Structures are given as C-alpha cells and as structure tokens.
Amino acid sequence: MNLGIRLHDIVGELTEKLEMARTYGFSCAHLALSKVGNYQGIGSLTPGYALYLKKMFASHNLEVAVLGCYLNLANPNPAAMKEIISAYQAHIRFASLLQAGVVGTETGCPNEMYSFDEQTHTEEALSYFTQNLKQVVRIAEKFGVILAIEPVYRHIVHDAKTARRVLDEINSSNLQIIFDPVNLLSVDNHQQREHIFAEFINLLADDIAVIHIKDYRVEGNEIISCACKTGMMDYTRIVNFIKQKKPYIHVTLEDTNAQNVVAAKEFLEELMAG
C-alpha cells in the first residue's frame, strides 16, 4: 500500500508538514487546501500554484493521494449551490495539474448547516444530492480527474447500498469511492461493524480508490474517532482486503498527532506484514 497522512494533522507550515511526512516514512498525503497552504478562495487555484505544489510534493517524494473539497452538494440554497459547483470545478481543474489521485468529498446533508437531520436519509435528499453530484462528475470527466465520494453514516450516502445506487445511476468511470470504515458506524450499528464492512467491500470493491484508516471509541451517544490502535477497531478484514485486492492503493491515516502517529503507522505496517 501507499501509506499517507492528512497534512492538516501535522503541525507547521506546508514545507515543514511535507518534511515531517517524509521523516515519518509516508509516501503520500491528503491535501485540504482550505486547511493547508496559501488558499485564498477558488481564484487562487491557478495553474502556477498547482505546478508549484506539484514540485514541492515531488521534491519530498510524496504523492497527493486526495485533494479535499468537502463542500455540501445537498445545500438547498440555489445561490450557495452555484458557488459550491464552481468550487468543485476549480478543485478538479487544479487536481488535473497537480496530478492528485482523486478529488475527495463527502455527501452532505439537505440543509445549509451541513448537519444531520431527519431529512438526511430520505429519498428526496438522495435524489437532490445525486443530481448535483452528476454535474460535478461531468466536469471531472472533461478534465480526466477521478472524483471520489466518502460515505458517512450521518450524511446522505450513509451505507454500501446507497453508495452503489449513486454509482450505478451516474455510471461514470470518473466517480469512485473513498472507504472510511469508521465513518460508516454509529452508536446503534457499531457492534455489527464486521457485517457493515463486509457488505461495503462486497458491493463496492472494484470502485474503492482510497482507504482512510482511523479508530473509534464510544462516548455516550457518540462515536468518537481517534488514531489507529487507540480505540475499538479490528482491522483484520480491511487489511486482508488491501493485501488481496488493492495493490499500492493510497491508504491515509486520520486523527493522528505527533504523539501517536509513529505507533499508528507501525501498527498498520505490522498488520500488513503479518
């Protein structure tokens, strides 16, 4: 696997983040321009900036696994949605020059707050999201870029079956999946996690482009994500899937910090070697 890290989980300026990522031994990174670098809105995403970053990453022997654009594609405000689509277009164009593996996004909630509500898992929300996603995928096709959606329990695309429906309806080789196992869990379903992960892999294996690895713990009525090896996860199924079906896939650690990142990386590498 190509193992990486979210750059915004590393302290420092961009050059320092890249240096630390290589010091830790990573080969790729997740880049969220709104959290890392000199992002000044979509007008700042020029070809010059893309090629500058491309050189910076290459000089540190790092690939951009994911260029993040986590904006709400189910925002009901037409003016806001127009701006959101423009932002996706700018990120897709930027990714084509940066040679990012995918432009990554989640699947939103049907309100302007981007928060889970009773409408989030409805057919109406799914239809509206899919309609907007289709516009973005058509842009990605023009630039030869892969757009990857990340199912999350508290978002519109919340499980394997819903993700499969979206992929089948849009029917584009430029639309793939980010598999974040923990994001599929809730306090109500986490004890069935092995079934949830097995179903996800069964329905979506060929379309999984990136895997996010983190852990979780339960606190009251919440799932709290945390660094790999610091919670309740069993990674056996995920690791076996990577070894058997996904050679050299980008795998990025999440929710790490300077105190646990080395242990998290070594733990995952030991599982892969076992």
What domain range is 39 assigned to?
2-273
Report pLDDT for 38. Answer: 81
Report pLDDT for 37. Answer: 74
Report pLDDT for 125. Answer: 98
**94-97, Cβ contacts within 8 angstroms, sequence gap of 24 or more:** 94/33, 94/45, 94/49, 94/50, 94/67, 95/64, 95/67, 95/143, 95/145, 96/143, 96/144, 96/145, 97/47, 97/50, 97/51, 97/54
What is the domain count for the chain? 1
Task: List the one residue out of 248, 171, 169, 265 whose CA is nearest residue 214.
Answer: 265
Report pLDDT for 249. Answer: 98
C-alpha to C-alpha distance for 257 and 63, rounded to whole angstroms: 20
What are the Cα distances from residue 18, in Å, to 4, 75, 208? 11, 34, 26
Question: What parts of the chain have a pLDDT lower than 70?
Answer: none
- Rounded to the nearest 10 degrees, the angle between the axes of helix 14-24 and helix 261-273 is 40
- Do residues 267 and 228 touch, judged by C-beta distance below 8 A? yes
Can you give the pTM of this predicted structure? 0.97
Report pLDDT for 134. Answer: 98
Say whether 116 sits in a helix, a strand or coil: coil
- In one-letter notation, the amino acid at residue 166 is V
C-alpha to C-alpha distance for 76 and 17, rounded to whole angstroms: 36
Report pLDDT for 9. Answer: 97
Say whether 71 sits in a helix, a strand or coil: coil
209 bridge partner residues: none
10: left (phi over 0), alpha (psi -120 to 50) or beta: beta
What is the greatest pairwise CA distance in the chain? Answer: 52
C-alpha to C-alpha distance for 16 and 237, rounded to whole angstroms: 34
DSSP string, 203-256: HHGGGEEEEEE-EEEEETTEEEEE-TTSSS---HHHHHHHHHH-TT-EEEE-S-
Q: CATH number for the domain including 99?
A: 3.20.20.150
144 burial via Cβ count (<10 Å: 0-12, 13-18, 19+): exposed
- Do residues 135 and 81 touch, judged by C-beta distance below 8 A? no
